[in-house]
């Protein structure tokens, strides 16, 4: 495939679902700059869950755009779900790595312990897995309703 086709499905994915990770990032930035994590440290778990959900939604939409453009061929739903989870896991690792770097550069205290970091990653992946399951449930429910209409 050519570069314009590659660029078109990436642009389409950002246009259709880029709002989700951007919303979580803005919420995170507000909490960092206002000191919200000090007054409500449990909100960190909520943001990691929402971050995993947002990234899974974003990657699922991007993969659908790649499939519609012909760039990704016609993989099975299971393969698309697995790729979405793998990309969400990669984003989770990169996010935690960025927090680790921020601890050194800004002398922050974002990552308290290795257990906290692993918990953050597990919560993010759980959010991603939830969205993947929810999207799969919606697809199968839609397919069942469509088949019922055809049978009538």
> For residue 4, what pLDDT is reported?
63
What pLDDT band is residue 68 in, cutting at 50, 70 and 90?
A: confident
Residue 2 pLDDT grade (very low, low, confident, very high; cuts 50, 70, 90): low
What are the extents of the domains in the chain?
3-145
What is the per-residue pLDDT for 146?
A: 55
138 near 60, Cβ under 8 Å?
Answer: no
* The residue count for the chain: 152
Distances from the Cα of 142 to the Cα of 17, 63, 84, 148, angstroms: 21, 19, 20, 10
78 has a pLDDT exceeding 70: yes
Tokens 């449930």 belong to residue: 137
Strands (E) across the chain are located at none
Q: What is the DSSP string of 65-92?
A: HHHHHTSS----HHHHHHHHHHHHHHHH
Grade residue 136 by pLDDT with cuts at 50, 70 and 90: very high
Which has more confidence, 1 or 135? 135
pLDDT interval class at 129 (50, 70, 90): very high
pLDDT > 70 fraction of the chain, expressed in percent and rounded? 86
Give the residue-averaged pLDDT of 5-27.
88
pTM for the structure as a whole: 0.83
């Amino acid at each position: 495939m050519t570069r314009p086709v590659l660029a078109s499905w990436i642009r389409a994915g950002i246009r259709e679902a880029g709002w989700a990770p951007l919303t979580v990032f803005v919420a995170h930035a507000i909490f960092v700059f206002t000191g919200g994590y000090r007054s409500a440290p449990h909100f960190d778990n909520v943001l990691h869950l929402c971050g995993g959900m947002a990234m899974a939604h974003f990657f699922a939409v991007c993969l659908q755009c790649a499939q519609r453009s012909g760039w990704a061929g016609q993989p099975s739903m299971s393969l698309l779900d697995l790729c979405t989870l793998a990309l969400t896991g990669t984003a989770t690792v990169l996010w935690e790595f960025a927090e680790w770097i921020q601890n050194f550069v800004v002398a922050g205290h974002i990552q308290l312990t290795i257990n906290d970091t692993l918990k953050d990653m597990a919560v993010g992946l759980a959010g991603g897995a939830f969205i993947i399951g929810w999207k799969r449930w919606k697809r199968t429910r839609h397919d069942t309703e469509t088949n019922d209409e055809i049978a009538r």
